[in-house]
Each structure stands twice: as C-alpha cells, then as structure tokens.
Structure 1
C-alpha cells in the first residue's frame, strides 16, 4: 500500500474523531486426517479491507474484498459522507518487529505437512491397541496486515500461527473415552521436531489410558484444586470475559464499577500479556495498531483495570490496552483477551493439595461458559 495516509485523510473529511484502515491478506493450510484417510486438504487465501470511523459514540465500518488503493479511496469518500469538519493528521511508520521464526510454515511443501499428520496418527496407533479412532487436524496461517490510523500510526505486521489438534477415541469392555490435546502458537515449522511431536502424542495417549480405567467421579460439593495447566479455562470464562470493556462498562458484567475493589483472594494476580514469546495469543500490535503490552487486571485480589480497544478507551476517556481484536477485515474490532493467566504464587503445589482433606484435583479442563452479568459459570473436567 503506497498511500494509506491519503485514505485516512479522506475518511476524516467529515466529523469523525478517529479513523483507521485495516488491510488483510491471509493464507492458510488446513489438513484433516481421520481413520487413515485425509478427509480435507486445503490451501487457500482470503483478502480484503475495512475502513472505520468513530464519532461520539458510534462506530461506522465498511468492508470490501478489494485491496486496490483507488477502490479504497472511493470507499473512503463514501464513508466520510455517512454523517460526518476536519481533522489534520500526520503519519509515523512504526517498526515491524517479529518473534523469531526459522522455517516459515507457508514456505513448507504441502506434502511435508501431510507427512507430519500421518506420522502423528500412526505413532498414536502403535502406542495403544485400544484406540479405535484418530483425528488429526493441522492448520497454519500467515496473516499480513497494513494498518493506518488518524492517530498517526502506519504499521505493517506479519503474523504466523501453527496449530495441531489430536483427538483419540478408545474403547475397553464397552467403555468409550476420548482424549484431546493441542499444540501451537506464533511458531515456525521448525517447532515440529520429532521429539516434541512424540511427547505430544504420548501425553494424549497417556490421558486416554487413564480415562479408560478411571472410576466414576463422586457426587456432591467438593473443594477444588486446579492444576497449573487447568486454570486457563476458568480465568478465561469466569473472569476474563467479564473484564472486556464492551461488557464491563456497558452493564453486561458483574465487575462493572468495581475498579479498586477486592474481587479475589490477595494471593491472586491476573495479567493479560500479549508480549510472551511464541504464545498463541501473542502479537506485536493489535488489530487497531496499538503496540502490545502486559496489562495487570487483578493485583493481590484488587481489580485494577479492564481490557480496552480504541473505541471504548475513547468513549470512557481511558487508554487502549492493545486488546482491539478483529475476527477478520469483515468485522469491527472489539476488546478481547490475549494470553490471560494467574501469576505464580509462593505456595508449593504439594502443600496446597495436602491442605485439602477431601476434594477434586483438576488436571485438565474442557469447555466452559459464563453468564457475565451474574458471574455464574460451569466447566467440564476432562481429567481429574
């Protein structure tokens, strides 16, 4: 894009407080293998652009499959006449920094990716005779985005995602169980070393073995201890969504108006961190061009902040926390989590477990859901 600034200036010919341009090109590979057959092998591309105007206090978004500069100028002229005086802007090109990747997934031959998928299936079957079905899904994505804003940012960002899902179905004496695991993140193909893949398969098979011989869980209330890797679902659903500004400040969250109040034990500190190397929720800039950061949400049990995009930050005179996320160029950005988790405490895990006489120790959670207004939530325990 030669002159994204010109498109933004055209957007601001009305009464807009703010405007931005989001241009996206996404290329992905999607491979699915089940029952010793490749059920799906896709290599596709999606591209398009979105123009946005913010006025007090509405967002106007228009999108198109085109990335042609002349067409976007025409669309910007149309958008500027929707309702909207004049706002001058200048542009500074921000640095494009990336997580280190040695082997870019989009440069790897398709047959090499299919070999990885087939190897995972065959390895799982060799490990456990009781496996009746194996499903492996491989997906890699490269997303190239250009973002131009009336605040003066001009950004080009390359984003890579690599993901493998493994589902095993096992049966013994009429008892059927499933075991699921996934690996991935902002990673290159070099991550998929054989020893790492072997560990991934072994972990999934080991869980299936445990489930096939597991006893039925007892009924009734129990004290619950969450393992370090099991708490993500709870934090994401029970707390995280309720701290997203579009819910928290619009009367759709039980955490509205509680900044500075105690909402958890003083042992609990929760952060949302986009800067963690190679994690799936990490990025250099959000989809509005705001640099990534670590945001403290709860500190020693005290609610400190919500998650903001630019729109809700402007509306409530706050600062964006870099959580403006788009599903694609077809959608407006909204405030959503990145990597949200509890920071380590000072207690030894064995000490925590031994302090409970009768309870449930959760190793892995499945899905969950929450009513953000009441705070009521429910989760599935896959392994405990």
Structure 2
C-alpha cells in the first residue's frame, strides 16, 4: 500500500505540474501584453511571445502575403478566368442598366456630382470656346484675303451658286411686282418720279393717268426682269462684286462687320444648333434609349476586356505602388492581441485542452516513474 500510495501521490503531483505548466505555456503565448518590471528589472518571458514578436510577425506576414499568397501571377490568372470575366460583365451591365434606366434628368444627374447650374456653365464654356477658336482662326488670317482664307471647295461652290442667286433675286422681283403690293409700290415710285420732274411731270399727269402709266410700265418691268440678258447682267455684276469681296483682307471684313457682331452671330447660331438645353432637361433613359444595346452588349464587354488587359500588363507596378506588405504589416500591428487570442482560442480550444491534458498525462507518468525510482533506490 505504501508503494501504491506513493505512486498515486507522485502521479497526481506530476499530473498537476504537467497540466499547469502546459496551460501556463499556452497562456504565455498571449500574456502578459506588456513587460513586467520588478525592482527595475524586466521579468523573463514578459511580454508574452506574440505581443513581444508582433512587429516581426507583422513584417513576416506582409512578406508572406505578397510573396506567396496574394501574388501578381495569382491576380493575373484570376482576371483571365472566363467565369470571372463573365461575372464582371454581368455586374457591370447590372450597374450601368440602373444608370441608363434612370428617370433623373441629365441636369439632376450632374448635380449629384456637384455640378450645379449646368446650363449656364455649359453656355459659358461654349461661348468661351467659340471666342478662343475665333481668335485662333482669325489671329493668323487677318492679314490674308478672304479668297486665301476660305477653303477652295467653298469658293468654287459660291462661284457656282451665283447664277442661281441672281435667278432667285429676279424671280423674287417678278413675284413682287406682279402682286398687288408690288403694283402699289410701283405706282408710288412713278408718282414720286413725276413729282420730281416739276412742271413737266404735272403736264404728263394732265394727259396720262397714273394707272395708265403703271399698266404700261409693269409688263415692261416684268419683261425686263424675265429677260435672259438681265439675268446674265446681274450674274456678271454679282461675279464682279464677289471678286472684290474675295480680295478684301479678313481684318478689313472684320472691321466692316464688327468683331462683337461677328462673335454674337456665331454664338447665337451655334447655341441654337446645339440643343444642350433639351439634353439637360431630358431623362437619362430618354437620352440613352437608342444606345442601350450598344452600351450593354458591345461597349461593356470591351471595357471589361480592356480593364483585364490593363491589369494584366500593370499588375506588378500596381502592387508595388499599393505596398501590400506595408498594409498587412500595419494592420497586423494595429490588430488587438486580445482579439487575436479570442480568435485562436475559439478555433483551437479543443486542441489546447488536449495539450493541457497531455501535459498532465505525461506529468503523471513521470511522477510514477520517479516514484518507482525513489522506491527501489531508497
């Protein structure tokens, strides 16, 4: 009984020592968090292993992530996977469809990006662009003639249109003088002419009425305007005047018309031709309706492919600029050790208990062996 009692006693003592030692060793992985000083000297094994080596652990984790886990080749292969590309296209189409089907006006949409009073700003930008282009175009052309400045195709087109223009003028003249308004105007002109003749005009009016004169002059005037020679003469006159205009310097023409008048005319015409006011007041859906299929079925797949190729060609540079190892290091250093302890213990609590039990078992066995040695030696 003495042997058995001693062995049991030694086994219990060994088991307690082994279990407590292993349990304490597990705790010392995380505790204490800070070094403990006694009489000015730091106690051994303080702080715990992980708090003490957290900086080294952070550096090594950062290197491990960049060198072995989140590698450029791994990211590149992911972006080349057909399934991933398909998912990216589906996601992009979903997000873009929300925008394309939006009932917000373009003006409201721009306000969401901080662009208020878009119409006024767009008008200011457009007018500023017109002024800048006006100065760019006329700055070097002011000393040149109009014929040297205008495109040859435009000059030839104007030359070819002069006969049509003269015919248009004459036809308008004929239509006018054939109308009642034209007849009244012709009568007034004849009346003014006769009055300017003085007594001779009065004498003519005594013998011939104004209506008679109009009835005689109107057909002849229309006949004159309809004559081919009249059109040729007018065409020749217009050609001569056009040749003179082509010889004007651009600066001279600008002075005759006025710079501000030219700019005002250009701004008015261009602002009227570009319907940006209607665009701003229209919904995104209305503006993009004609392009939905093009955007969703053509542009988005191309954009995803371009992004994939861009990442494929730039991934190493992007990762270098991101400094991933530095990010991991900072995150690990900032991560609370207490939280890390909770996570590890929650995952491995069963294993840690088994280690504690194993320590107790080994301690108990060692105690029994020691008891036997003491018994037989003693």
| Higher percent of residues as helix | 2
Task: Work out which structure has the larger RCO, using CA pairs closer than 8 Å and 6 or more positions apart in sequence.
Answer: 2
TM-score band, normalised by shorter chain: under 0.3
Question: TM-score, length-normalised on structure 1?
Answer: 0.13
| Higher percent of residues as strand | 1
